[in-house]
Structure 1
Amino acid sequence: MPERAPTLRDVAERSGVAVSTASRALTRPGRVNQATADRVLAAARDLGYSVSPAGRALSSGRTGTVALVVPDITNPFFFGIVRGTQARLREGGYVHVLVDTEESVEAEERTLRTLRRSVDGMILAASRLDDESLAAWSREVPIVTINRSFPGLDCPSVTIDTPGGAVQGLEHLASLGHTRVAYAGGPRTSWSDGRRRSALAEASPRLGVEVVGLGPYAPQREAGAAAADAAVASGATGILAFNDLLAFGILERLASRGVDVPGDVSVVGCDDVFGADLVRPSLTTVAAPLEKAGHHAAELLLAALDPVHPRAGAPVELGTHLVVRDSSGPAPR
């Protein structure tokens, strides 16, 4: 018969302390004096005993797990965020679970209710919750948001300056002589979309460009056909798309209608996801530092979860830049 695995009681007996003291020495050494902690640790090493993850979570109240919640895992925008988050959490000794809410506010609420006691904290990327609900949840569980911030939100945030990027795209089109540009917007629940619409409305008089607001559209390739048709009907010679997936669909629809890009209509996307340089024509787009955003979000959450000195990090805002490719050109004469 194989030998019985050592137990916590065995460690307690070997070191001459109560089981509760042995447990504290192994999971919270600061709660017992140093001599006792050293004696218990030596007994554990001699016996080959190690604390199970479940036991450590039970005694410390920590699970070593973080939830990363995204609205659409099929959207390449979130790939970089996942990589950046995962790498930093691994460095900090955490694992993460990935949750796809499928652009559903109800699913996001359900995720928060279900996981709040199963994880140490959450990173919400492009949350679709309304301000009141998100503010309430930020007081219930350690949260860091990506691309969501407002006064009264009691948690750290990382934002990507896509409104500034949209203005860069508009300036680019204006420099090419376009005076009527359609903005094919994102979901109604997108905080980022609202900020971009405001930024474009503010910049358009300065640039002498009329911006036609279209949408809302799902941030998916399949929605591009409707967006392209609406843009053509509006008489716009330039299109700014909410994201690259929507821009891919717009390019496909314009090609099927025999509309030349960029000869008749120029198209500008946002995010510079994988494939933006592979479509034909290659897509002019706003590049966003997605992996860096995930890294910063994880860094902020680890700071908030620090068992010794928890701290709230300062908000982080990351810049964007325009990548000019073949889908944009001079306005038709």
Structure 2
Amino acid sequence: MLREIDLASPVRGHLHLESLPGVVDRLLQHCHDIGAPALANIRRTSDSVHFDFDGSLQQLMPLRMFSSLSVVLDETEHARVDGFADALARLKESTDDGVIGALSGPPAYRVDRIEGRDAFIDGVSGTLGWKNDPRAWDINIAEHGRFLVAEVGALHRSRRYPKLHRIPASVNPVVASLLVQLAKPEADSTVYDPFCGSGTLLTETDAVGKGGFLLGTDISLKALRVARLNLELVRTPHLLAEARAELMPLPSQSVDRVVSNMPFGKRVGSHEVNSRLYPEFLAELARVLHPKGRAVLLTEDKKRFQQAVQETRRIHVIKEVQVTSGGLHPTAYVIEYTQKSRRMDRRRKRQGQ
């Protein structure tokens, strides 16, 4: 039986949040936004953020862009030298007044393939009395870079949020969090995903409590069936429909935010198709996007996308964020109207009044 965790319980300890390269910069900024007194000594690696924590775990839940939370036990080389004595002491401390102590009972655990694994298992079971259960663990002890950490299963993303039905090429949930954060939806925004697939980006928009209306379209009826399953519990008003992204069934300037995981031309579509699709889609995007709106588009077919943006009037890229996920290195492009286009739009409105 997997243990639940009390998010309201006050805890202390040195914590480690695992994320993805490219996403971690945004996560780091959000950690600094929380800052003292709860978070101190905030630092980062290429794919994680770690800090000293003193507060309730509920304070960390808005930090959606992490896949797992762990207690830092020791640095790996030091742990091997001292026979894991400090690591066992950190586990005991976390059980007394840290994250592990917030679990609903003594945890089952597993130890990853680390040097001295058998001796460490003997130490954990003998000192703490925990059950070694690699199949149904609450605590996973493993190396992450130079750290030896105890991952808390109850705070893994797969348990913090409802499980989503997936289809091939569905966007990683951590990347989805990044895309929605970059889009900066507001409470009354109409948020549109023209390549909605299984609806991951729309469910994430709802989860952060933003967006007044969610709209998703796709050419795949199978994908739309999956998206409807995923959006069953979404509180925000929403609509899913079959439509082509290059022929959006929407009035001009009717969408505040567009957030989408575009076909990369690998598992979905092809580079040849993208050579036609991207320019036609971006022309439609420039038509339906509100002059003060913003689009965030993810693709690995970067050369074709950049060429298509350059050929599209009225819009431009204001920011690029490359991420690493599943062996791929796509870039999230943040797009807005050019200043010239905004001025022209304001002039047309004044002349029409």
What TM-score, normalized to structure 2?
0.28
Over alpha carbons, which structure has the higher Rg?
A: 1
Normalized per residue, the structure richer in helix is 1
